[in-house]
Structure 1
């Protein structure tokens, strides 16, 4: 497959690994990363989100894990070929069995969100087979630093369930971005950030397309340091 070109790095892709998509770009560009020194990405795929975060936070050390060896090999290649390679490390790892010597300032994930079904296309990356919401949330509560954040992007309709599980695991919602695919449409995604300390919740809306195939000004502004396209 043709590599996906960003301004400071390229993403080699494969038909066997979940490709670059808008969800990953939004997560990598929108998540709160400024003060995070230690970051863990769960389910890295091509390594896109980790690379975007490495570009945004030049001091962060980032670990990425995936349960799929083909994804790990691809992410390792993309990390090695990037200008941030000395701060990026990827491991073949089941999150359920993951352990670390230090806790993380940020745990970030674009998790599988479909219930298990008969489709075989990107099944591990898209379906809750190896990583479901309770596993992601409960494990993150163990690994997160006291002032750390858990940042995810999920379908809008999964938001209530995700927030309920987080609450039971001791997380507090800190930030919610309701993402609309097109102006005037229904919300499609949620970018949610949780912490272990109660804080004022910041809620905002974000529109990807102003009209069909025309990106909104806010999307162009958000991604201007990554994408090559112009207005």
Structure 2
């Protein structure tokens, strides 16, 4: 996905001049896949440009709190929310998750996160981008601990992860009584191996939905039918 200064969707535009992490396929997949059918209060952790919060606002009637500890991301997110049809329902807060969880007075029935990846990779030189991409600023254990605290008893917590992080994340999640209820494993194209996994966790859940999604055919930017079905409300080209 290109890193232009803005990214246009069917019902909203995401300006991304300041945020370290630009609009990418991972966030869009998370925003399209998350179950919002009965959601009343949604929390978006590490909102970046606000793209996931905006997608969830388009798909639901919920009130959304979107947090990020990076001020430049919040600058973009606030502008994007203000220019969207759902500015009354989305609140952007510049705060780190640990502090938010310690001071929050409400719980959420839907929590989403496109968390920092690359815990073992060489850190990029750009500090903002490094914070957004590396989980040293938000370790998975901290993320799960906070999510468990902030989730209503019947709520769900949804993340997108690198495929190689699935098992360790699920093991950590079980320490907080969070168990997968839905899983979709993602391949970029049919000949590729699984690169990402979408996971929905609930308290004491049983896994009742496990599937695979292949994004493109072997031709670049030719989407598979199931991807089109997932993304058609958002991508202009579909």
> What is the TM-score of this pair, normalised by structure 1?
0.96
Match of 1:208 in 2: 215
Q: Deviations over 1:110-146 (max 9, x none)?
A: 0001116332241011001211100100111011000
RMSD of Structure 2 on Structure 1 (CA): 1.2
Q: Deviations over 1:159-182 (max 9, x none)?
A: 000000001111111111010110
Count of aligned pairs between the two proteins: 229
User: Which sections of structure 1, spanning at least 5 residues, go unmatched?
Assistant: none
Aligned partner (choices 87, 95, 98) of residue 96 of structure 1: 98
Aligned partner (choices 56, 60, 68) of residue 59 of structure 2: 56
Give, in whole Å, the separation in 1 of the partners of 2:234 and 2:123. 36
Match of 1:67 in 2: 69
Preserved CA contact (<8 Å) 2:110 2:156? yes
User: Which sections of structure 2, spanning at least 5 residues, go unmatched?
Assistant: none
Matches within 5 A, 1:81-120: 81-98=83-100, 99-115=103-119, 117-120=122-125
Give, in whole Å, the separation in 1 of the partners of 2:35 and 2:118. 26
Aligned partner (choices 33, 54, 58) of residue 36 of structure 2: 33
Match of 1:137 in 2: 144
Ranges of 4+ aligned residues in structure 1 off by more than 6 Å:
none
Give, in whole Å, the separation in 1 of the partners of 2:52 and 2:123. 28
Q: Deviations over 1:20-58 (max 9, x none)?
A: 00000100001111111000000000000000000000x
Give, in whole Å, the separation in 2 of the partners of 1:178 and 1:109. 16
Give, in whole Å, the separation in 2 of the partners of 1:198 and 1:119. 37
Matches within 5 A, 1:160-199: 160-199=167-206
2:228 aligned with 1:228:
no
Preserved CA contact (<8 Å) 2:108 2:151? yes
Preserved CA contact (<8 Å) 1:146 1:197? no
Preserved CA contact (<8 Å) 1:175 1:202? yes
State the secondary structure of the residue aligned to 2:212: strand
State the secondary structure of the residue aligned to 2:11: coil
Structure 1 residue 15 displacement after superposition: 5.5
